[in-house]
Structure 1
Amino acid sequence: MDEPGLRFAILGPLRVSRRGTPVRLGPVQQRVVLAVLLLRANRPVARQSLIDAVWGEEPPAYAVNLVQRHASGLRRALGVRLTWTDAGYTLTVPPGCLDLAEFEAALGRARAARDGDDPATAAGAFRAAAALWRGPVCAGLSSPWLDAERDRLAEVRLDADEDRLDAEISAGEHAGSILELRRLAARHPLRERLTTLLMLALSRSGRQADALAVFTAARTRLRDELGVDPGEPMRLMHRRILTGAGAGDTTPAGAGPVAAQLPRPVREFVGRSGELGCLDSLLDDDRGCLAAISGTAGVGKTTLAVTWAHRVRHRFPDGQLYVNLHGFDPTGRATEPAKAIRGFLDALAVPPDRIPTDPEALSALYRSLLADRRMLVLLDNARDAAQVRPLLPGSPGCLVVVTSRDRLLGLVAGDGAYPVPLDLLPESTARQLLGRRLGDGSLRAEPSAIDEIIAGCAGLPLALTVVAARAAMSPALPLSAVAGELREARGNLDVFDGGDPATDVRAVFACSYEALSSGAACLFRLLSVHAGPDVSSRAAASLAAESPAAARAGLAELTRANLVTERAPGRFTMHDLLRAYARELTGRLDSPRFRQDALVRVLDHYLHSADRAGTLLLPHRDDPVTLPPPSPGVRPEQPDGHEAAGRWFTVEEPVLLAAVRQASREGHDRHTWQLAWALAHPLFRRGHWQDAAAIGQAALDAARRLGDPRGLAVSHGGVAYACIRLERYHDAYLHLHEVFELYRGLDDPIGMAHAHRSTAWALDRQDRFREALTHVHRALHLFRQAGHSTGEARCLNAIGWFHYRLADPEKALDHCRRALDLQEKIGDRFDMGDTLDSLGRILHRLGRLGEAADCFRQAIDLYRELGDSYNTADTSVSLGDSRHAAGDLDGAREKWRTALAIFERLGHPDADGVRARMRESNHPID
């Protein structure tokens, strides 16, 4: 802008002032042109877009001339820098000259303070932002485009008001917020967040009855006007107020997910009134309770636990956790307590960097997170008391329900568990269950057949459910025929009922199996080949060499027959008795070659799916592996982008780990080491170092059996990486020695270069910088010889980093700049953040603080884009240091507080260093 002292205001009537004196803006259309340009300040606006924004769909024939005339008029009246290029008109507005830009900057500061857990500072910043508004945007001017922008910004302002009120409540200003919340909620009666905040403010002011009345009125209004119920945040606030948690809850309304992991309840649940009463009696014990539901396989332990849990979940406002411990899995691989805890920590949104590797530390973190919470924890299918004890929270507000085939006497005697033994259903309840499934008319029509079915099922709920589904799917088949089939099919499946020979589950399963179509029957048998805890429909398609549509149809048929369960949308699991029956069937009906082909297909499915997802997560891999093409019929997953790939790995991680173990156990050595390679990077991203080390060892064993030097090299490298993460440096160097020898024998300079980089990384973590520098130079030479640009850039940055650590900033700056230039050229955004961070630190040491801050900001943007929380915080500390050195104490405080909030969320010890900076700089931590 050529004219100094010019200030624009559009948050209200359009005003322009020069050194405090109002400026005449010309005719109305010229003011509209200015309004449009200010709303798109510092961005080009195409001439046609400007015409459309000013006149809408019916511009005058001479609109182009009018735009040019108004642009000239604005230049004369204001002395503004309004330029024209092929991209359009650009109005240049410096920082601090436009109230809308100040508003957006204030919002950014406010939300950063909020995210940094500083509600008082956030509330003040939100109030400062709100003070810039004088009325509707560009009030008095009108065009279709301008009207739409006015509505959009009004919504932004309302969002900001909600955020401000949320921060004020969190800062303890709830009483003063009630009047404004009532006014806003009355003006926007269908905006649920305002209602939720009003409920929270009233509750914290001791006015629970008023808060409940607000909820009732809002729910009635939503039902009457929209035909919908309130959303989850409002319902959650209602539950918290009802249970007494709302007034003391410091969590902003709607912030953060509440774990709700319970499986879906069974609709046809009947009986068990005595057991339900026993469980209900535990709710009034304030000391925290533990219930142990025990009984034979298929007796309905999980059904009872899940049904009751859903009935009482409103009593546990902090959520419900669920895990199947696979205590009696046919493979004999029960879920380790540490793995179950990691699943709970993921559900509680604990960042991977905060999850420890030591089992005792895992249990301690889990207990700490549940302290002072009221949660329901369902531990399903436990093997014994030893498997359960690490999963017991210490909080008196939590209630734990355990189900097991074991009687869990140790848990009852040693941990005070309340025993809830579950027996077979009495005849009356079994009849009621069949009536729910088949209809009372069927029961009355063939009472003797019903008696025989109940006797044949021996009161086992699972058997009754399966045979009822069989009959329901064949309504033309008389129940007497079903009873006859049960009678004739006895004698092939071992009984899982605690020794009662009258319970013949095989006969029940056979009846249901024989009613299947040939495709569904084949899929049922092949599912026993799959070792994972559950299977997706697409993996099932690869397993059976079917199209995804055919696999979905087969799984739907199996679900209707109660032979598989859809535990989550698109994911299916099989009861272990059914799995045993399917394994018997495929052993009897299918050839060994048929089963082996299916196993190879499903292993290929996971290998190629993991490879594709891994390429999206890390396009420039250190150790790419060329995979053979998948077997015919395999249909790998096709994740759509970086986020989808990350979600796929999160869901499939237990299945992939099971696939590695199965491949190793059954002699598929190539799949073993290649699956371990494909899974290693996602495990490292999630902080599961122990799992990475375990599958790395399986990969090493497989590669040794194969005598595959490349597999050995890759697998040694993966184990070395895990050892470095676990600070087992001696073991890491031993594995790296093997990596060097193997790649030397393969005449693979790229592999050698990666081994040198890994060695340098291990040395760096031990502060052995000169030795590390030697290895990085060797890696750089090898990468350059091979024309490997990504590796070359990483090495240049590493060399710069080590020169920085060795107090040679000029050399460091040169190498890091060359690294960044190369990364920008090849589009390697995954490594640019590290290089920008290095440059920022070097420039700071050289006293070039403005340039350092720019580098740090760019690095932070990249780290946030990639979801790298630790490096976001680490670089924020450095940015704060640069602002402090430049004399910007407020800017330093803001960045340090942001970093401190992230480190505290991660539970990382670097938080102590940030606190020390703030104390030494006379910045109170609050």
Structure 2
Amino acid sequence: MTTSEPAVRLRAYGGLRMWRGDTEVDIGPPRQRVLLAALLAARGGVVGVAELIDLIWGAEPSQSAVNQLHRLVGQVRRLFEPDLPSRTPGHWVHPAGEGYRLLVDARTCDLLAVREQSPERALRTVQEPAFAGLDPEVLEHPLFVAVARERIQITVTAAETATPDSLPILQRIAASAPLHEVLHARIIRLLAAAGRGAEALVLFEDMRHRLAEELGADPGPELRAAHLEALEPAPADSHRPVQLPRRVSGFVPRHDLTAALDAQASGAAIVILSGMGGVGKTAVAVDWAHRLAPRFPDGQLYLNLRGFDPSGRLIDPVDALNTLLESVGVSLASLGGAGLDARAARFRSALADRRMIVLLDNARDSEQVRPLLPGAPGCLVVVTSRNRLTGLVAREGARPVLVGRLGDAAARELLAKRIGEQRLAAEPAASRDLVRFCAGLPLALAIAAAHAAVRPELRLRDFAEDLELDALSTGESSDDDVRSTFSWSYEALSPAAARLFRLLAVHPGPEISIAAAASISGAGPKARSLLAELSAANMLTETDGRRYTMHDLLHAYADELLEASDERQEAERRLVEHYVRSTRHSYLMFGRPQVTYLGPPSAGMTIERPADFAAALEWYVREKSTLRAVIDLALTRRWHREAIEMVLDLRAARSSVVEPPADSAEQSERALKAAQALGEPALEAGMLRETSIGLRDADPALFRTRLEKALQLYEESGDLAGQAMVWRNMAWSVDSTASERLMHAKQAVDLAELCGEPSVLVFALSALVSELRAQGDLATAADVALEGHELAVQADIIDMSAQTAGTLAEIHLARGDHEAAVRFAGIALDRTPPAEIFTPFHANAILAEATRALGDSDRAAAVVATFRQLIAQHSDIYRVVWGDASVDAVIARVEACASAMH
């Protein structure tokens, strides 16, 4: 290849995708995709013509298959080189012997790049399966099987040194290799190390059963060894938390504060470090806590309260207490539905006889901190905040310590640790200017040092001259000094990175993905390098290699810059379009029909593309707060269509995580008004259905009125799927008779069969099953539920296949068919993605009862342990969604099952 050719990148993991230069390429129809995928899977090797024909056309190809293959090869070549003349091989796809080979290397292909990456990075690369979306029969070919096996081997290698933080990725990948003993053994060890012993034992039991049933074999030595480790009791000090963050790199001791802090610690249980943002409060608190740690033998707790988080969503005291309680070994399950006061009391009891440090970072106000305070004098509480928290000083006797700016000597010492003493000593005047410019703020000094460190070819005088041009103040501590610091860092950026920094001010969420940044700026693949530049300049913080956060002061500064430009409206439009299209792609992974069609995207739009249902659900959970804020923005800007499309497309994810309708009710009501004003029947009908969801019990009359209006709109437009879904909703009406509800459900099924949309029919059948069960006709309910389940599996509607399997398990348990109950409960669990916590609650309860009834006490005991862990982790949300009575009834059944085994 010559250097004049456009750069090409190919990605297999997470689905086949291709970029030429900055533009993503539409790979084309299925046969073309299979051809490119096969050549890519060969990783530079030759794929024979006969092999390609078999892959593309199957066992009975047409007589012209060879000629068609040659044409396909030409089309694939032009994906790389659009202007390539016919019958010209070009630089990428070459004939070789009796076949073809694709010339790729680690720079252009992730299948090869992953071999050169560290285990940790390689695990991130392969977290989604390769070539997702291709026909399953194609993926059974040895070429693709070899790629899948390499993915597992990469995972095994990474699991050897992984931390428990990697468990979600490891478990997701391990699901594709259910009999791989070494991988599952390493996951068992990680679960045990994370204190999740019950899950580790359940995984071992599942592996033992699978090996016996499918291979007629017993667990091998590594799996048995992992099992023995999981069975070992936790050490006595397993709940001695050691949570202090690492000391800040290059930290300069604050001698002006040390004496004051030590004096306060000797006479007070609570010390507050307050000061302006960026002044180094956390660094001081962490360093001081590390020095004092030997005096507190029972450990250290650390919690970031996010009082000034850019999202505006600070940590709720109940959530904070839950984290602290778990850290000191208190099971949340033991608290039941206890509220804030009861949890605070339990935390005080847990620390009553302990000597610990409790570091509460970034507190918003006294009320956020007060419930988190130990009651005994043996613990030291260190609080950092931008506010002075005078309420804690007045009522709890907290000792305040003001953290001010660094003196010139300390500031110079910080710079010397970051960029080297020799460089500072070589230019003393410039060094003094740099120290004066940063105004004693550690954050500003760190930013300045980062720019100087990454540009060693420039003299410090070059920086100092820029500072003098800006005529920056170095006087009293003020916002102007902070702004000047950021201004200098901002001016040192490349023009493209500076523009991206400004535009990111429109992003309302706590984290910014690479794709969102690319869409907002239209920068395409270049966004990654621009984000890296901003991260190196300390203007963004990289979280996991794919997402970034922005310090709230920097966010405010970026917003000022954007306000002074004419870029805001365009950036906001691109932000909204990014989330509209990403939400739509996520929605399509749920297997539901589209309400509207979006048309082609704007130039430079980079859409988030979850590869499958599980990834789509995880994306929603992670982006939830951002999505809500983007809808608010769209409604405020009167971009009504976009807001409505997002609300409707999010229903699938919100249903899958059993999100209470009240969470989004106010926003949905505004979207309904917008839809009524817009005058588009499909959108209005969709919003009428959406807003009716939370009204069934609260306002049955309005529930029915809105559904009847939606039905009228669907009938006028001839939308059979919409009509079916309305009748399905009507079957849940609380003010209808049993016969009416049954009639409504059957009407939904009839219309769903006519519309030909699988997901609509599955939902209609589920409504019919529900009513049949309510009326006691379990035999018919079982038949209808099986029909719905088989349809959901056939159509690959993941959430409904899991839900229908759970319903079948419940029905068979009620009918006394325990073997069927076990089988379908297992199917429900197998098809439930990690982000979904609701199906496992009922499925494990059914599994515990059914396995005990069948006499399998070992498996029943393991399932009971898993169920108890679910309760410990998620009891609060279960109770919000289902109510205390329903949750307690299920818990009672499982505990009765456990008692019967003793």
* 3-state SS in 2 of match to 1:606: helix
Gap runs ≥5 in structure 1: 1-100, 134-148, 171-199, 205-244, 250-257
Distance in structure 1 (CA, Å) of the matches to 2:244 and 2:743: 51
What percent identity do the matched residue pairs reach?
30
Once the two structures are TM-superposed, the CA of residue 269 in structure 1 deviates from its matched residue by 1.9
| Cα distance, 1:571–1:810 mapped onto 2, change above 3 Å | closer
Aligned pairs for 1:504-543 (under 5 A) are: 504-543=481-520
Does residue 864 of structure 2 align to residue 897 of structure 1? Answer: yes
Once the two structures are TM-superposed, the CA of residue 486 in structure 1 deviates from its matched residue by 2.3
Letter in 1 for 2:511: D
Once the two structures are TM-superposed, the CA of residue 278 in structure 1 deviates from its matched residue by 6.1
Letter in 1 for 2:643: T
Once the two structures are TM-superposed, the CA of residue 660 in structure 1 deviates from its matched residue by 2.5
Letter in 1 for 2:439: A
Once the two structures are TM-superposed, the CA of residue 408 in structure 1 deviates from its matched residue by 1.3
1:337 to 292, 316, 338: 316
Does residue 428 of structure 2 align to residue 431 of structure 1? Answer: no
**Deviation per CA, 1:328-351, whole angstroms, max 9, x where unpaired?**
x5x9x453737975996999899x
1:874 to 831, 842, 847: 842
| Cα distance, 1:781–1:561 mapped onto 2, change above 3 Å | same
Once the two structures are TM-superposed, the CA of residue 397 in structure 1 deviates from its matched residue by 9.0
Contact conserved, 1:294 with 1:403, CA < 8 A, in 2?
yes
| Cα distance, 1:638–1:834 mapped onto 2, change above 3 Å | closer
Partner of 1:240: none
Distance in structure 2 (CA, Å) of the matches to 1:719 and 1:736: 9
Contact conserved, 1:430 with 1:459, CA < 8 A, in 2?
yes
Partner of 1:656: 627
| Cα distance, 1:878–1:336 mapped onto 2, change above 3 Å | closer
| Cα distance, 1:582–1:731 mapped onto 2, change above 3 Å | same
| Cα distance, 1:508–1:790 mapped onto 2, change above 3 Å | closer
Partner of 1:42: none
* 3-state SS in 2 of match to 1:293: strand
Once the two structures are TM-superposed, the CA of residue 294 in structure 1 deviates from its matched residue by 1.3
Distance in structure 2 (CA, Å) of the matches to 1:787 and 1:158: 50
Contact conserved, 1:876 with 1:898, CA < 8 A, in 2?
no
Letter in 1 for 2:274: S
Aligned pairs for 1:176-215 (under 5 A) are: none
| Cα distance, 1:699–1:371 mapped onto 2, change above 3 Å | farther
Bigger Rg over Cα: 1
Contact conserved, 1:872 with 1:899, CA < 8 A, in 2?
no
Partner of 1:420: 401
| Cα distance, 1:159–1:582 mapped onto 2, change above 3 Å | same
Letter in 1 for 2:535: T
Aligned pairs for 1:515-914 (under 5 A) are: 515-548=492-525, 550-588=526-564, 590-591=565-566, 594-616=567-589, 618-620=590-592, 624-686=595-657, 688-689=659-660, 690-704=662-676, 706-722=678-694, 736=707, 739-740=710-711, 742-744=713-715, 746-761=717-732, 763=734, 769-840=738-809, 842=811, 849=817, 852-853=820-821, 856-862=824-830, 864=832, 869-878=837-846, 888=855, 890=857, 894=861, 897=864, 901=868, 904-905=871-872, 906-907=874-875, 912-913=888-889
Aligned pairs for 1:84-95 (under 5 A) are: none
Distance in structure 1 (CA, Å) of the matches to 2:196 and 2:452: 59
| Cα distance, 1:875–1:268 mapped onto 2, change above 3 Å | closer
Aligned pairs for 1:76-475 (under 5 A) are: 156-164=220-228, 166-167=230-231, 169-170=232-233, 245-246=237-238, 266-273=248-255, 275=257, 290-305=270-285, 320-326=302-308, 333=312, 335=314, 337=316, 361=339, 372=350, 380-389=361-370, 401-475=382-456
Partner of 2:49: none
Contact conserved, 2:518 with 2:527, CA < 8 A, in 1?
yes
Once the two structures are TM-superposed, the CA of residue 438 in structure 1 deviates from its matched residue by 3.4
* 3-state SS in 1 of match to 2:278: coil
**Deviation per CA, 1:822-861, whole angstroms, max 9, x where unpaired?**
44554445334444444455556666x3664465445444
Distance in structure 2 (CA, Å) of the matches to 1:347 and 1:714: 42
Distance in structure 2 (CA, Å) of the matches to 1:770 and 1:509: 69
Distance in structure 2 (CA, Å) of the matches to 1:566 and 1:831: 36
Letter in 2 for 1:807: G
Letter in 1 for 2:533: E
Letter in 2 for 1:874: H
Distance in structure 1 (CA, Å) of the matches to 2:299 and 2:420: 37
| Cα distance, 1:556–1:340 mapped onto 2, change above 3 Å | farther
Contact conserved, 2:657 with 2:837, CA < 8 A, in 1?
no
| Cα distance, 1:521–1:869 mapped onto 2, change above 3 Å | closer
Letter in 1 for 2:539: L
Would you say how many aligned residue pairs link Structure 1 and Structure 2? 692
Does residue 458 of structure 2 align to residue 487 of structure 1? Answer: no
Is 458-467 or 741-750 further displaced after alignment?
741-750
Q: Report 1 or 2 for greater relative contact order, CA contacts < 8 Å, sequence distance ≥ 6.
A: 2
Contact conserved, 1:341 with 1:366, CA < 8 A, in 2?
no
Is 909-918 or 413-422 further displaced after alignment?
909-918
Distance in structure 2 (CA, Å) of the matches to 1:339 and 1:712: 38
**Deviation per CA, 1:99-156, whole angstroms, max 9, x where unpaired?**
xx9x9xxx9xx99xx999999x989x99xx99xx9xxxxxxxxxxxxxxx99x97x72
Contact conserved, 2:344 with 2:371, CA < 8 A, in 1?
no
Once the two structures are TM-superposed, the CA of residue 767 in structure 1 deviates from its matched residue by 11
Once the two structures are TM-superposed, the CA of residue 684 in structure 1 deviates from its matched residue by 4.6
Distance in structure 1 (CA, Å) of the matches to 2:483 and 2:896: 74
Contact conserved, 1:534 with 1:573, CA < 8 A, in 2?
yes
Contact conserved, 1:674 with 1:699, CA < 8 A, in 2?
no
| Cα distance, 1:842–1:420 mapped onto 2, change above 3 Å | same
**Deviation per CA, 1:266-285, whole angstroms, max 9, x where unpaired?**
42221324546666788889
Distance in structure 2 (CA, Å) of the matches to 1:567 and 1:884: 45
Distance in structure 1 (CA, Å) of the matches to 2:807 and 2:523: 51
Distance in structure 2 (CA, Å) of the matches to 1:529 and 1:118: 44
| Cα distance, 1:379–1:693 mapped onto 2, change above 3 Å | farther
RMSD between aligned residues: 5.2
Contact conserved, 2:505 with 2:559, CA < 8 A, in 1?
yes
Once the two structures are TM-superposed, the CA of residue 429 in structure 1 deviates from its matched residue by 1.2
Once the two structures are TM-superposed, the CA of residue 635 in structure 1 deviates from its matched residue by 0.8
Distance in structure 1 (CA, Å) of the matches to 2:579 and 2:328: 26
Distance in structure 1 (CA, Å) of the matches to 2:546 and 2:795: 39
Distance in structure 2 (CA, Å) of the matches to 1:313 and 1:737: 66
Letter in 1 for 2:314: T
**Deviation per CA, 1:185-205, whole angstroms, max 9, x where unpaired?**
xxxxxxxxxxxxxxx6xx65x
**Deviation per CA, 1:851-877, whole angstroms, max 9, x where unpaired?**
644654454444556765544443454
Once the two structures are TM-superposed, the CA of residue 406 in structure 1 deviates from its matched residue by 1.7
| Cα distance, 1:341–1:773 mapped onto 2, change above 3 Å | farther
* 3-state SS in 1 of match to 2:445: helix
TM-score, structure 2 normalization: 0.64
